[in-house]
Chains A and B, each alone.
Chain A
Amino acid sequence: MDLLQILSNTVSSILGPATIAYALAAVGLAVHFGYTGLLNFGIAAYMAIGAYGYAISVLTFGLPWWGGVLVGIVGSIIFSLILGIPTLRLRGDYLAIVTIAAAEVIRLLFLTNAFDAVTGSADGLSGYHDSFRAANPLPDGTFGFGPFTYNSTGWWVRIIGVLILAIAVLIVWSVMRSPWGRVIKGIREDEDAVRALGKNVFAYKLQALVLGGIFGALGGIVYALPSSVNPGVYVTSLTFFVYTALLLGGAATVFGPVLGAVLFWVVQTFLSNLLPALVVSGILPFMSTSQSQTLRFILVGVALMLLVIFKPQGLLGNKKELTFVKQ
């Protein structure tokens, strides 16, 4: 068992594209769920729209990589409007039902054979990297230090990812401390009270849905940047993994979703490296290596339950905020 290699992989995952993608999606979900109180269970669909929007516009329409990013963003805005206009006038639980169903509709649309020429159906999409890699200003070769040693493309993906994440965090931080954020948080507490004060609650909820949705789509794009678009990724469990990351860090915090995503992937990577190694060296009996991969999801589930029971406000959340929730 190579403990050093396991630890190195674990530390390396802090800066993984998947981590950054989850962090972006979790920031979007923080806007939806943590600040506005919108129960969006379709963040996976936003990520899929971002990823497919990017890949399809590069592959089918020959747009440059940044054009693909824009298409992904516009796609998420349209999706928000389609979802939001009929449902945001209703009570919160309806949005939850609609988003979870809409996420499946989106996934199946990308999966169906009918659009195989564009979406690649079950095979997904790949080979859209030329434009993105051509824009890479970094020199060729492998550089970095310790566990953070990547090749030129690896660094380029991470730099763009962190940059987008930083902008997203900055936007959330700046709007949530403003009067706009005050209205948004007021809507989370009681939308009738906010309505009685003359605020157009529906418009605010739609703005929040669009804003969070854009971050979700950007998360999907960053997820797709280094490798390929695979329809098997954007399943309902992705939504719940992003929720795990969000709740881990703290739902109504700016940096909580980022910290949560990092911790989520560090633990995931650690367990997926450690458990098979334990099986191979005979420390973990009654189990095959593939079974041990399932065990890690069980452990993540248990961890989430413990978290919600013992630290429901998340790692960065304000303890006082939760003290009053039961009233």
Chain B
Amino acid sequence: MSSNETPINEAPVQREKATNLHKGDIAPGVAKVDPIIIADGIRRTFGGLTAVDVDHIEIPRNAITALIGPNGAGKTTLFNLLTGFDKPDGGTWTFEGNSLAGMPAFKVARLGQVRTFQLTKALGLLTVLENMKLGAKDQRGEKFFSSMFPALWRKQDDAIEQRAMMLLKKFKLDAKSEDFAASLSGGQRKLLEMARALMSQPTLVMLDEPMAGVNPALTQSLLDHILDLKDEGMTVLFVEHDMHMVRHIADWVIVMAEGRVVAEGPPDEVMKNQAVIDAYLGAHQDVDLGVVTGRVAGEIPEEAQDLAAEVAALDSAIRNRAANDNPEKTS
């Protein structure tokens, strides 16, 4: 494994991004050259709330697609719908040409579309190695009657164990293989969940907030692992809030707000999109609010002068009102 020999402090190499993924003008719901998932009219309501209402969405194959959006935008719900963990009110969606509508989650996973969860689901009282072996597909020993006769599954199980140990080594969890998964740290559990998903040799990996709660030292190695997936020919779709990470690794970004796709495109272009800035990034994402409000010394950039003036006006208005309310105290 080459990643093992990489010195820790070496700056990560910016890998080449996949380009020319779309057909025609970039717009929400644009057609892709080679889509792996095509979804139409996906709608999911919870009572009066429309959580997801996507007209058309295509996920490009062999690329890293980021799904971003503010909290409550419907990203995780869309994830659940695409993986069969939740059922939409209506709509059609296909994975590699197979319709997934009405298909239970385990069958979706068998087709090669595996997911991880926002709240990590490490199987605590199984060892790390058992967690990994559980991920492998088509195990003979998982049938009840053949499970009683080790001769029928021992060989396959050994091969699975070998593959599991290789993956664990790559994810630097091999020293922990005999420990209960419950003894791992939060970040290690994220790694384990991702490694476990890879045991099923998927074609599409769907990661729900892979970076949430992971310390910065682990973040870099997780990023590398995600980039490796693409190099190995897999497609990655992930939900993430960390914009730096999205900019760093995503080939394509889909922005959701209030259940709809509001924008999509290559990361650098999407971040300039006014709809995205309004929905997600905020108008003054680069401005240090401490400086603008005068609590921290520093220079106010030109584009934030208006904001600073507004803040100053508001501050003086508050002071004036306070003075009017309690004239004795302030005089």
Contacts and interface: CB of A to CB of B under 8 A. Distances in A.
Interface of A: 171, 174-175, 178-183, 185-186, 188-190, 192-201, 207, 211, 320-321, 324-325, 327
A211 B145 CA distance: 11
The A interface, classified by DSSP as helix, strand, loop or mixed, is: helix
Interface in B174-200: 180, 182-183, 193, 196-197, 199-200
Interface residues of B, number: 43
Contacts of A182: 126, 130, 133-134, 142
B157 A197 contact: no
Nearest to B150: A178
Contacts of A197: 109, 114, 134-135, 196-197, 199-200
Contact of A186 (B114, B117, B123): B123
A195 B125 contact: no
Given A190-B121, A197-B200, A178 B106 contact: no
Given A186-B126, A189-B123, A195-B109, A178 B134 contact: no
Given A195-B106, A198-B200, A201-B106, A179 B124 contact: no
A325 B182 CA distance: 8
A3 to B, nearest CB: 44
B148 A174 contact: yes
B126 A198 contact: no
A171 B200 CA distance: 28
B85 interface: yes
A180 B141 CA distance: 6
Nearest to B121: A193
Nearest to A324: B182
A179 B153 contact: yes
B143 interface: yes
Nearest to A201: B106
A324 B183 contact: yes
Closest 10 CB pairs of A and B: A324-B182, A179-B141, A180-B147, A198-B109, A193-B121, A178-B147, A189-B123, A198-B110, A179-B142, A190-B121
B142 A183 contact: yes
A324 B139 CA distance: 29
Contacts of A321: 125, 180
A258 B147 CA distance: 23
A204 to B, nearest CB: 8
Contacts of A190: 121, 123
A103 B115 CA distance: 39
A182 B141 CA distance: 10
A179 B121 CA distance: 19
Given A193-B122, A199-B134, 15 more contacts: A175-B147, A180-B143, A180-B147, A189-B123, A189-B125, A192-B85, A193-B123, A194-B134, A195-B85, A196-B114, A198-B109, A198-B114, A199-B106, A201-B106, A324-B125
Contacts of B148: 171, 174-175, 178
B65 interface: no
A128 to B, nearest CB: 32
Nearest to A177: B150
B134 A174 contact: no
B137 interface: yes
A119 B199 CA distance: 54
Contacts of B135: 197
Contact of B147 (A181, A193, A320): A181
A179 B139 contact: yes
B46 interface: no
Contacts of A179: 133, 139-142, 147, 153, 157
B126 A180 contact: no
B212 interface: no
B182 A327 contact: yes
Given A174-B147, A182-B130, A193 B117 contact: yes
B142 A180 contact: yes
Contact of A200 (B83, B106, B115): B106
Nearest to B153: A179
Nearest to A170: B148
Contact of B180 (A181, A183, A200, A324): A324
A327 B143 CA distance: 32
Contacts of B85: 192, 195-196
B304 interface: no
